[in-house]
A = this chain, B = another copy of it.
Amino acid sequence: MDEVIADAIGKFVYLYNRDYGVPLDLEIAPGNEIFHHVPEHANQKWFDYINEPGFFRDLGVIPGSQEVIRALHDKYEVYIVSAAMEFRNSLTDKYDWLAEHFPFIGWQNIIFCGNKIVNADIMIDDRIKNFSEFPGRTLLFSSPHNLLLTGYERVTTWHEVGELLL
């Protein structure tokens, strides 16, 4: 979900702007996480933000994800698999967010987990740790933190995902 269909970075930037004056148009350098770009005394603050009830409820939608996943849903059996379990308060927020923005994905096809030990053919993800035990095809969805990684089939936008899979 985060950084693939849900814009968690945008929410972090908004909150760091509110609390520490970080610019709203902050660009994250390739290979960095958001916390590399905030004042040093605040760089663990993301953990507070992310644990707050409501953090995940109003994230923006990554452009193109709704249209392309809707089309994929007509052709494939699409699952949303989110590493939500690290953050207790994210569970209900993520459930409600999906119901609002991806209502065509039924509860049967939603998975909140830690390790992504799913049995599927294709995985689209921004974190390569989720690929390590996955036997199928992997598509690395570009996000600032993964831009320096090489050796992976990469997609930069949902438009590209559509071109590859539709």
List chain B residues, Cβ under 8 A from A95.
85, 88, 91
Q: How far is the CB of A14 from chain B (nearest CB, A)?
A: 25
- How many copies of this chain? 2
Check if A111 sits within 8 Å of B114, measured CB to CB: yes
Chain B residue nearest to A79 in the complex (CB)? B117
Interface residues of A in 63-105 (CB under 8 A from B): 79, 85-86, 88-89, 91-92, 95-96
List chain B residues, Cβ under 8 A from A29.
none
Compute how far the CA of A135 lies from the CA of B135 in the bound complex, rounded to whole angstroms. 14
Choice from B91, B106, B118 contacting A117 with Cβ under 8 Å = B118
Q: How far is the CB of A153 from chain B (nearest CB, A)?
A: 20
Check if A86 sits within 8 Å of B112, measured CB to CB: no
Check if A86 sits within 8 Å of B114, measured CB to CB: no
Does A128 make an interface contact (CB < 8 A)? no
Digitize A105-121: 1 where CB-to-B-CB distance is under 8 Å, 0 elsewhere: 01111111111011110
List chain B residues, Cβ under 8 A from A110.
85, 113-114
Check if B86 sits within 8 Å of A107, measured CB to CB: yes
Closest 8 CB pairs of A and B: A108-B114, A91-B91, A85-B107, A111-B113, A119-B119, A112-B112, A117-B119, A107-B114
Subset of 10 A-B contacts with CB under 8 Å: A85-B95, A85-B110, A88-B96, A92-B92, A110-B114, A111-B113, A111-B114, A117-B118, A117-B120, A119-B133
